[in-house]
Amino acid sequence: MTTELDWFKSSYSSNDGPDCVEVAISHPTIHIRDSKNKDGAHLAVTGGAWSEFLILAAEH
């Protein structure tokens, strides 16, 4: 069974900038993709891994 993901743009992405990240939540998986390449590959990680990434990213 295939379900459509509900993608949303990161709050850190600008509307006119080149760096746009979109995220979709499909429990227990978080999906991440480049908004400029919606049909391209995307990452899929666990919620725990995503939380750890966000903590590390906030430190830099």
**What is the reported pLDDT for 2?**
47
Residue 31 pLDDT greater than 90, yes or no: yes
- The pLDDT score that the predictor gives to residue 29 is 95
Listed in sequence order, the residues at least 6 apart from 31 whose beta carbon sits closer than 8 Å to its beta carbon are 5, 7, 23, 24, 25, 42, 43, 44
Sketch the domain layout of the chain as residue ranges. Answer: 8-59
pLDDT score of 55 more than 90: yes
Whole-model pTM: value is: 0.76
